[in-house]
Structure 1
């Protein structure tokens, strides 16, 4: 059932018997590049979910918790930022984008990224903001390729990758080499939890979502606050670290 149908995103409920289960479909062209408009529409969808969760009053239903899956179709999950537009808009774009990542990272229900294709740069960061990630096994890379396109990372952008990729050799390959991780490598490196065939991608994401949904029982702020403390340093850098890479190095 469609809940929110905007120009660049569509929010659905795949199971009418479970109103707190959501699928957010990304639909910003072939590549799903992040623009300010795209960020605003994703934020509107998250706003709707929060409002919907608050409106659920049945105690048994609230005990079931809830979950959110994001996905797309075709070759790309997201090919990152619309670079020229982002750079021309500066903080007008970057600050809402970073706030969106912080909100998703600490969202009050479990989140699962069903990565249907390539997830590069800003698309990789968006995927990493989810609690769980399932990747298509037969096609697609996940990578942070800023080093190859000549764009340094802001404090929050680096932090959201560092908080999820904890093995230093994989983090080095990711950030310094811009290595493209195929699905099998992405699992071993910690980028994703599972790699499955395309026809099983959404069903597997739903398995994660339904398994974790009860952790949001009560549909209150408990999971949001747990995540906020779990990723405290990352959230602080996303929200208050600014957009100047290496700004703390100015006195060296």
Structure 2
């Protein structure tokens, strides 16, 4: 029997693609393949956003699964240096994709075959559910390791979706790497396995018909309102973040002045001995 052709294929410039297949009726599988590790570039974000739009407006409502054709990685996150140098990247590329996923009018599932780091992990968290290969890969927020602050929606999604506040702290302040079994135990994975297991998960929870009433996306928008608000008002958030940096620098100046005054007093006191 010849293989079933994909529903559609979208190129990712300059190299890569997103392929949409249908492993079961009204279950849509978006497989992205952007070598070497599915970095979340403007082209990647725009192409995935287009794929979501096509499914929403041209196919019957069902369930959308995203996964990687590169088995080692779901996504290795941003090309950070490029992202911070690209004007409007967060507001015009990354955040619109995240908002679309977070409020998508069908159930969404991230099927994670390997590593999901930083923004790749965040993207998985924007889905309704997450299942992961139990034998390969880690989930990790490694911003601490490369000196990147968390922007408001980045912290917010974990604050809203990670059940244990101690786990939330460990994720961020220790950059802990979570394997699938531990992540499932901590409650931010919903299951383990591959495509067949995801299809079984969909059928068990009867997710295919969840979008039929037309309010699925609106309900999610209310549930995750804190993060949605940050994503929608990101330009104001960036201004606040810049203001906070300036205030931090001002506080640092005051703190250094206190230290210098103490050092001067200590030096004077020692010289009198």
Answer yes or no: same fold by TM over 0.5.
yes
**Structure 2 residue 217 is matched with structure 1 residue 224:** yes
2:91–2:234 CA contact under 8 A, matched in 1:
no
1:112–1:208 CA contact under 8 A, matched in 2:
no
Superposition map of 1:3-152 within 5 A: 3-7=7-11, 8-15=17-24, 18=25, 20-53=26-59, 56=60, 65-73=61-69, 74-152=71-149
Taking the aligned partners of 2:89 and 2:116, their CA distance within structure 1 comes to 24
Specify which structure has the higher proportion of helix: 2
Taking the aligned partners of 1:147 and 1:190, their CA distance within structure 2 comes to 23
Which structure would you say has the larger RCO, counting Cα contacts within 8 Å and 6 or more residues apart?
A: 1
2:121–2:139 CA contact under 8 A, matched in 1:
yes
Superposition map of 1:182-221 within 5 A: 182-196=179-193, 201-210=194-203, 211-218=206-213, 220=214
Cα distance change, pair 146–88 in 1 and its aligned pair in 2 (3 A): same
Aligned length: 233
1:161-195 CA-to-partner distances (Å, cap 9, x unmatched) read 22111311100011111110011111122221122
Shift of 1:203: 0.9
Q: Secondary structure at the match of 1:13?
A: strand
User: TM-score w.r.t. structure 2 length?
Assistant: 0.80
The correspondence for 1:162, drawn from 141, 154, 159, is 159
Shift of 1:147: 1.0
Taking the aligned partners of 2:242 and 2:162, their CA distance within structure 1 comes to 23
1:86–1:94 CA contact under 8 A, matched in 2:
no
User: TM-score w.r.t. structure 1 length?
Assistant: 0.86
Shift of 1:30: 2.8
Taking the aligned partners of 1:94 and 1:161, their CA distance within structure 2 comes to 19
Taking the aligned partners of 1:224 and 1:129, their CA distance within structure 2 comes to 13
Taking the aligned partners of 1:174 and 1:90, their CA distance within structure 2 comes to 29
Shift of 1:238: 1.3
Taking the aligned partners of 2:176 and 2:9, their CA distance within structure 1 comes to 36
1:30–1:75 CA contact under 8 A, matched in 2:
no
1:112–1:209 CA contact under 8 A, matched in 2:
no
Taking the aligned partners of 1:34 and 1:13, their CA distance within structure 2 comes to 24
Shift of 1:248: 6.5
